Amino acid sequence: MNILLTCAVLIVPGILPAVVIAGQRPVTPFLVPLATALMAGVAVLAMFVTAGSLMPWFAVVAVAVNLLALAALLKGAWLRRADSSERYPWVTFLVVLVAVLWPLAVLRIPVIGSDARAIWLLHAAMVFGGHNTLVADMTNPSYLFSNPDYPPLYPGLTALVYATQGRVDYHLGVAAIVGLNACTLGVVGTGVMEAVQGQTRTLRWGANLLLVAFLCGAIYGVAGEYAINGYADLLWAGAAVGATLYGLVLSPSRGHFAVACLCLAVAALTKNEGFVTSVIIACLIASRMFTCRPQRAGVWLRMAALGAALAPTVGWIIAVRSRGLSNSFLGSSPESTLTRLSATTVGMWGQLHLVVAALCVLLLGALLLRSHRVGLGLANPARLWAVAVLSTLAIAATYIFGSYEIHWWVGSSVNRTTIFANSLLLTDMAVWAVVAMQGVDQPAWPNPVASANGRLEAADLSSTLTGP
Amino acid sequence: MSEAPEGLVVAARTRLRRRSAIGIALLGVIVAGSFLVEAQQAVGVTVQLTGSAVAKQYAANLHQFYCLQDEIHGEVPRGAAVAVGSGTEESQELSELVVLWAKPEPSPQHSGWALSLVTPGLCEGVGVRAVLHP
């Protein structure tokens, strides 16, 4: 009974906002728990800066968001069918669902990583304790090891699980986060399927779907144990890949933009590096709007939406800094910068093994398939690569200017901090493969629906990648 | 006059298409290879984690955690200040264990209780020792 209550609390509040954001598309069910998690994170922020406990604040936030969603729904401005003639949306949803759910068979075992317990589940217990407990524990020097300034989405959602159970249940808390991880991969998988937009034959469409299923499996492979042991790395990485795909690769329709904003907000409110990456993605989405969009009406509204997506995390940063909270890894180090740079470079390069394959695919795609990419209304991949490079550099800078002993630090965390870059490269390869399947025996064709806004960008793809 | 250039154009187009097809096939091979290698790793991790020995170890770890919490709840009154030390794995684990129950402090100066982990104990071989300072 309690499990049903937990599922209801994690799903019901997110349904209406997800429908308003994405309409009736295969991606929508995957957005539902992410929307709930975002509300839980905002509720933690409200509780932290004011008083009370999580459930009342969550109720306030959920009711407010759902009223806004209902108003938008009644206005009819946002609820639309898919932007294109999507083929078999239910089949797409079910295949992607199976592709992201199968590793969850592990959940019958309480696989809980050490950092999951020492950071995330600990913070969730503090949130479960209410405002006074949260503030007292986060400002307690004995808990500095848990990096108290980490954003509150994960603890918020897990504390919601605890509240519905009436007790701290680490196993169920991890299960909820693993479910969120799966949802972010579902967003990525359905996003890649949106690239073909029903313009393909059934057999080829099936091949695309198989490719997407393997993409989800491949991202699970990149994440390894961190996908299911309660770490937050795949959650922010998957959400940030979703934001990049919908905001910087797919045609810049309103539906895609709204999905990108939700993913941005989730990534930013999950982990510090997720926030930095989200700022990078938001800047690139803004630059895309200003430079490539033929119709600039509504650009400022979209800028405001991007700001709103990052606002909860900015609010959290201000709130924790005002209480003097910080993390335990920034500070002075006894090692020289050169030593740290060298160890960081070696460690990260060892994990970024997909770069070479992804570069080969990029080169082949740019030489052979650019006209097909233009026809599908897909954007210049340079922005996706810019996100991967800048995010990786930001993480590298944290290693270089951090305080922990560098060899231990890189060795114990680099396989997690590179999940985002590797997942993004896999997604880029999947998009090129989808384009290639369209281009096997067909000339490039114009897509009146999708390429209206993407044509200019895709045109500059050729100049960027293949010269004049 | 006109047939020869047309034939050349057709031949050139055929060559171009063949090269394109080879390039696209190469792209497909790279993508498929990368995806298969990574997906295989995912399957490997899943199989490894569901193996009985690993599963038992994870279950024992969680059982030990809850068991140690119960011991602390039995020995230390709720809301008490407890000295857990600082900068060690033990102090970190004790801080995790007392969350929502007691207030951890690095040194025993202001704490009524001092906590430490001891072996042997009832929780998978480990136990908690709580000492009340005068």
ipTM score for this prediction: 0.89
* Structural contact between residues A268 and A274, judged by C-beta atoms closer than 8 angstroms: yes
Q: What are phi and psi of B121, to 5 degrees?
A: -150, 180
Give yes or no for residue B44 having a pLDDT over 80.
yes
DSSP symbols for A125-163: HHHHT-HHHHHHHHT-GGGGGG-TTS-SHHHHHHHHHHH
- What does the pLDDT average to over A82-97? 79
Number of helices (H), then strands (E), in chain A: 21, 0
- What does the pLDDT average to over A242-266? 95
Residue A442: per-residue pLDDT: 57
Residue B109: per-residue pLDDT: 74
Tokens of A7: 């599922």
Q: Which pLDDT band, with edges at 50, 70 and 90, does B3 fall under?
A: low
- What does the pLDDT average to over A180-204? 88
Please judge whether A436 and B42 are an interchain contact, meaning their C-beta atoms are less than 8 angstroms apart: no
**Which of the pair, A78 or B15, is modelled with greater confidence?**
B15
Residue B9: per-residue pLDDT: 80
Residue A276 CB-density burial (10 A; 0-12 exposed, 13-18 middle, 19+ buried)? buried
- Would you call A140 an interface residue with chain B, using a CB distance cutoff of 8 Å? yes
Give yes or no for residue B95 having a pLDDT over 90.
yes
Give yes or no for residue A187 having a pLDDT over 60.
yes
Q: Which pLDDT band, with edges at 50, 70 and 90, does A2 fall under?
A: confident
- Would you call A419 an interface residue with chain B, using a CB distance cutoff of 8 Å? no
Q: Which pLDDT band, with edges at 50, 70 and 90, does A79 fall under?
A: low
pLDDT tens per residue, range A60-77 = 999 999 999 999 988 875
Please judge whether A224 and B41 are an interchain contact, meaning their C-beta atoms are less than 8 angstroms apart: yes
Residue A296: per-residue pLDDT: 61
CA pair distance A111, A10, nearest whole angstrom: 21
Angstroms from A181 CA to nearest CA on chain B: 14
Element spanning A338, H or E: helix A337-351
Residue closest to A127 by CA, chosen among A172, A66, A173, A184? A173
SS3 content of chain B, % helix, strand, coil (to 5): 65, 20, 20
- Which residues on chain B are in Cβ contact (under 8 Å) with A429? 30-31, 34-35
Q: Which chain B residues have any C-beta within 8 angstroms of a chain A C-beta? A: 20-21, 23-24, 26-28, 30-43, 45-46, 49-50, 54-55, 58-59, 61-62, 65, 84, 86, 91-92, 95-96, 99-100, 103-106
CA pair distance A378, A373, nearest whole angstrom: 6
Residue A305: per-residue pLDDT: 95
Please judge whether B27 and A228 are an interchain contact, meaning their C-beta atoms are less than 8 angstroms apart: no
> By mean pLDDT, which of A20-24, A156-160, A274-278, A386-390 is the weakest?
A20-24
CA pair distance A400, A339, nearest whole angstrom: 9
pTM of this prediction exceeds 0.80? yes
Facing B96 at nearest CB: one of A110, A118, A141 = A118
CA pair distance B125, B134, nearest whole angstrom: 29
Residue A268: per-residue pLDDT: 98
- Which residues on chain A are in Cβ contact (under 8 Å) with B34? 218, 354, 357-358, 426, 429
Tokens of A184: 């972010």
> By mean pLDDT, which of A206-215, A299-308, B108-117 is the weakest?
B108-117
Amino acid (one-letter) located at A434: V
The answer to whether the Cα torsion of A300, A270, A389, A103 is positive or negative is negative
Q: HEC profile for chain A?
A: CHHHHHHHHHHHHHHHHHHHHHCECCCHHHHHHHHHHHHHHHHHHHHHHCCCCHHHHHHHHHHHHHHHHHHHHHHCCCCCECCCCCCCHHHHHHHHHHHHHHHHHHHHCCCCCHHHHHHHHHHHHHHHCCHHHHHHHHCCHHHHHHCCCCCCHHHHHHHHHHHHHCCCCHHHHHHHHHHHHHHHHHHHHHHHHHCCCCCCCHHHHHHHHHHHHHHHHHHHHHHHHHHCCCCCHHHHHHHHHHHHHHHHHCCCCHHHHHHHHHHHHHHHCCCHHHHHHHHHHHHHHHHHHHHHCCCCCCHHHHHHHHHHHHHHHHHHHHHHHHCCCCCCCECCCCCCHHHHHHHHHHHHHHHCCHHHHHHHHHHHHHHHCHHHHHHCCCCCHHHHHHHHHHHHHHHHHHHHHECCCHHHHHHHHHHHHCHHHHHHHHHHHHHHHHHHHHHCCCCCCCCCCCHHHHHHHHHHHHHHHHCC
Give yes or no for residue A456 having a pLDDT over 60.
no
Give yes or no for residue A457 having a pLDDT over 60.
no
Give yes or no for residue A454 having a pLDDT over 60.
no
Q: Which residue of A has its CA nearest to B103?
A: A137
pLDDT tens per residue, range A320-372 = 999 988 777 777 778 899 999 999 999 999 999 899 999 999 999 999 998 88
B-proximal residues of A, 147-186, CB under 8 Å:
168, 170-171
